[in-house]
Amino acid sequence: MAYVISNECTACGTCLPECPSEAISEGDIYKIDPDKCIDCGACADVCPVEAISPA
């Protein structure tokens, strides 16, 4: 199950370096590619606004 980023995302970039599979792409609201996500949760652990959760 891939993680998803909600509209609460502030595009701070904290999650980008934490993703071992480079599944997160930048934008006004970041997005996680479900085909690349390995369900490790590293991104969710560091999100300061808790905008990342399991799908």
Domain boundaries, the chain: 1-55
Residues 32, 2 contacting (CB under 8 angstroms): yes
pTM: 0.91
User: Terminus-to-terminus CA distance in the chain, angstroms?
Assistant: 6
Give the angle 42-22-3 at the CA atoms, nearest 5°.
50
Residue 22 has pLDDT above 90, yes or no: yes
CATH (one of 3.60.130.10, 3.20.20.70, 1.10.240.10, 3.30.70.20) for 1-55: 3.30.70.20
pLDDT at 1 over 90: no
pLDDT of residue 46: 98
Please check the confidence at residue 10 and state whether its pLDDT lies above 90: yes
Residue 33 has pLDDT above 90, yes or no: yes
Q: Which band of pLDDT confidence, cut at 50, 70 and 90, is reported for residue 32?
A: very high
pLDDT at 25: 97
